[in-house]
Amino acid sequence: MRTLSALLAISIPLAAAPPSTGEWRQFRGPNGTGVGTSTGLPVEMDGSHNLAWKAATPASYSSPVMTAERVYLTGHEDTKLLTIALDRASGRELWRAEAPKPWPVKPKGPASPSMSSPATDGENVYVIWEHSGLLSYDKAGKLRWSLALGEINTPYGFGSSPAVFGSTVVLICDQDGESFVLAVHKDTGKQLWKTARPHAQHSFPSPVLFEPRDKDGKAGPKQVVVSGSHQVAGYSLATGERLWWVDGMAWQAKQTPLVDGGTIYVLSSMPPMEELGPVPAEKTLAEFLEKFDTNKDGKMTKDESPSAKPYGMRELWFLWDTNKNGQLDAIEVEIFLKRNSARSGLYALRPEGAGDLTGTAIAWSYQKGLPNIPSPLLYQGLLYVIREGGILTVLEPATGNVVKQGRVTGALGDYFASPVAADGKIFLLTHDGKLAVMKAGAEFEVLKVNELDETSWATPAIDGNQVFVKTQSALYCFALKKP
């Protein structure tokens, strides 16, 4: 007959979990920072070490989010676009809901139809699909409301994720055409405001909340910070009014900003146009028409656009004809000129005042060793940036000075997932499934590189004593086992 202690050892293989905060409710957790308050997190994590459960899931690039009881994620199977709820304690699938419109199976480069992460208010879940719009489900999987957004025009797929700020759901829809930032009521889906972003192009960051304070510490109106092509801007959460902006950012934004008190850290990184092809000398639509409108119908089409050097416009026509009307328009020339003058960098912004703050809000900038996709991480008084090849850069948040730069030994591949941190540790996930656990600090140290043996684009999630890692075919839940 088994003893009571033996039965307990079998039924409770993991250490007692601290109370779940349910804080990881959007892409990268609390306000998109990538930082959790968890303690007692494992270092060794693979199929045989500290694995609480593993659930088979559809393929996706999106990241999981959590309530105290549920894990929500998105994925696709053939043409089906799926929102899925798992039991957080066991990994058991509770329900899956299919989007109203299937994926039309038009691969866009390496993109996936499920790149946007869901968001939750602690009970309900909110998802965005490129063809079905913004949807909300309750905890039982019943559709609460849906809001059509029209066909979203992007060459690589849609990657921005929604966020819930109080009773408001905010979504950035930067595309090649009519870009906008949208706010709806979380319980009804009713539009609260919609603000056009006329010079924005396809971009992928998610919105974050900024609560400015005056010199006396008094809080001002809440703002939504949007990093997009060429510009970072703050919008009123209540009305959608654009309150301030800083120009000159990279022309295709990917990284989500970080907010720390009155400072906003923005990583805006994209190769300059010179690396994609030679830059034409023409600066206005009239100049292009004069030179290339061969049939003199007042339009310049793709067939009339110059190919090969010194232009290469025909090969990159999708970057020129952003509204897809088959001809070059004046605003598209303007957008191109902005793109040509854009600059990549990691910026510390301190927006004080209103209007154009380009000349006053930049406290410092850093231009070297920047990643293409991962967002930065601010943790325990240091700023971290991980780039391709496993190069980790640590900077002083106050000055932008480099504290240390080095390679993450054993995890030198490509990085699409953003870094996350808790419990004095930084978690870095490579595209080929190497999960590196780092000791945080100015003298960072690799504690362990774990092999998951499958590709991943998704950013890990952390809450309670659990670490969640999404690969292309599974969701892993890791928790520290008792000795």
Instruction: Give the three-class secondary structure for 15.
Output: coil
pLDDT in tens, 26-37: 999 999 999 999
pLDDT in tens, 374-393: 999 999 999 999 999 999 99
Ranges of the chain whose pLDDT falls below 50: 1-18
Euclidean distance between the first and final Cα of the chain, in Å?
24
Burial of 212 by CB count in 10 Å (0-12 exposed, 13-18 middle, 19+ buried)? Answer: buried
Among 121, 123, 124, 146, which Cα is nearest to 137's?
Answer: 124
Question: Which CATH class, in words, describes the domain spanning 275-340?
Answer: mainly alpha
Q: What is the per-residue pLDDT for 270? A: 73
Give the rounded distance of the alpha carbon of 21 from its chain centre: 22
Q: What is the per-residue pLDDT for 276? A: 57
Among 450, 445, 444, which Cα is nearest to 469's?
Answer: 450
Evaluate whether 146 touches 137 at the Cβ level (below 8 Å).
Answer: no
Q: What is the per-residue pLDDT for 4? A: 31
Q: What is the per-residue pLDDT for 329? A: 86
> Where do the structural domains in the chain lie, given as residue ranges?
275-340
Q: What is the per-residue pLDDT for 209? A: 98
Among 272, 221, 266, which Cα is nearest to 357's?
Answer: 266
Q: What is the rounded CA–CA span in Å between residue 304 and residue 293?
A: 6
Q: What is the rounded CA–CA span in Å between residue 303 and residue 307?
A: 9
